[in-house]
A and B are shown apart, each in its own frame.
Chain A
Amino acid sequence: MNFSKVHMMHKERDPLNLRSLPLVEPLEDGWPEIKNSLLQENRRQRILRLAGGSLAAAAVITLSVSLFVQQPSPSPQQQSPLQSATQSIPATATLDSLIALSQQLESGIRSYRAEVGGMPTDSLIYQVEIEDLIAQVDDELSVRPDSTQLWSQRVNLLLDLSQLYENQLRRDYHRMASL
């Protein structure tokens, strides 16, 4: 493309030559504030990961126990050795129940959202962080939809979110009661 054509295209796109205006200098160096925010964020993420790990383990244990209790035991005549072996594998059952629990928690959170008014800023930051993490897990789940570990993480994060709403509801309730 020759120079005059390029010049004409620029003229058409920017007829008033606004591009000739120089970049504007910021008022001050914004980095220290951004750095503080990033460091705080990193600390929160570490705490979340730690808390998440222990909550996930608790959730998986609870689910495994409840599945074991709920599972109807087949009669000895119907039970083949193969069936017996497969029923002792908890992986598939755990995945299904994790998905089911995830749906239940989602539905509970929807109800909470309708009940809870405004969240205070500190809770709001936490809420946004958890939702971001859920979005990340969802991204990974779109690639590995059968990962029990990912579904456990999702359930665990939903439990955190649920807890956050419950705390807020409790605070709202106490505030109303004190009026």
Chain B
Amino acid sequence: MAHSPFDIELDDMTLARAKRGNVDACETIFRKFQQPAFSVAFRICQCRETAQEVSQEAFITAFRKLRQFRGDSPFWGWLRRVVVNHAISQLRKSPKADPVELQDYHGKAEATSDRVGMAMDLESALAALQPEDRAIVWLHDVEGYNHREIAGLFGKTESFSKTRLSRARDRLKDLLEAGPALKYAQDATAR
């Protein structure tokens, strides 16, 4: 099974120091996990400002509750749960986030233009999904959540998660097939 972007090693010493409230250790943790935390918050909320707020609040909560982390599962999984919970609760408060703008996308410098083009299609297609569908497809396909976990997050049944995942994938496929037309429509809207 492929790893979640959160799956980053953290040494026991840093964790123990952070648990005792050491601010430097907390900063080390923040620096390691800042980007995956922001990314997952952005994929769920689809708004950079909201993702910034959500990830910061999630880190504050995580550091405050760090003593409750018992170490019986990997730390990254625990931290990811805190971030995802914050993002989902934000999603509940404002389910209609602004759609992403294409210029927000920053591809890696070494990426080929084809890969950037494909990624932009995927970005556009994801942005066009309904917020809950987008969150579900991301949590399942990228973060590796199972249907039971997703159902728990949304307070719904597993069949809700399965139905929404299937719907989201179908919609994404349709949107990717209509890729160039979609981009043209978004560019026209931006103008």
Known: A21-B123, A23-B36, A34-B63. A16 touches B141 (CB 8 A): yes
Stretch at the interface among B53-61, B84-92, B154-162: B53-61
**Is B77 positioned at the interface, with any CB of A under 8 Å from its CB?**
no
Interface contact B23-A39, CB-CB below 8 Å: yes
Q: Mark B160-185, 1 if CB is under 8 A from A, else 0.
A: 00000000010011001000000000
* Known contacts A13-B2, A27-B52, A39-B23; A19 and B142 CB within 8 A of each other: yes
Which residues in chain A, 8-37, are within 8 Å of chain B measured between CB atoms? 9-10, 13-28, 30-31, 33-35, 37
Question: Of A19, A31, A34, A132, which is in contact with the most chain B CB atoms at under 10 Å from its CB?
Answer: A34
Interface size bracket, A side: 20 to 34
Specify which of A9, A19, A24, A34 is in contact with B38 (CB 8 Å cutoff).
A24
- B63 neighbours in A (Cβ, 8 Å): 34, 38, 41
**Pair A34/B56 contact, Cβ less than 8 Å:** yes
CB pair B55 A132 closer than 8 Å: no
Q: Are A26 and B52 in contact (CB under 8 A)?
A: yes
Q: How far is the CA of A41 from the CA of B137 in the complex (A)?
A: 36
Q: Is A45 an interface residue (CB 8 A)?
A: yes
The A interface, classified by DSSP as helix, strand, loop or mixed, is helix
CB distance A26 to B141 under 8 Å? no
A149: interface (CB < 8 Å): no
Q: What residues make up the interface of A, taking CB atoms closer than 8 Å to B?
A: 9-10, 13-28, 30-31, 33-35, 37-39, 41-42, 45, 132, 135-136, 139
Task: Spell out B's residues near A (CB within 8 Å).
Answer: 1-2, 5, 21, 23, 26-27, 30-31, 34-36, 38-39, 42-43, 48-49, 51-52, 55-56, 59-60, 63-65, 67-68, 106-108, 111, 115, 118-119, 122-123, 126, 137-138, 140-142, 144, 169, 172-173, 176
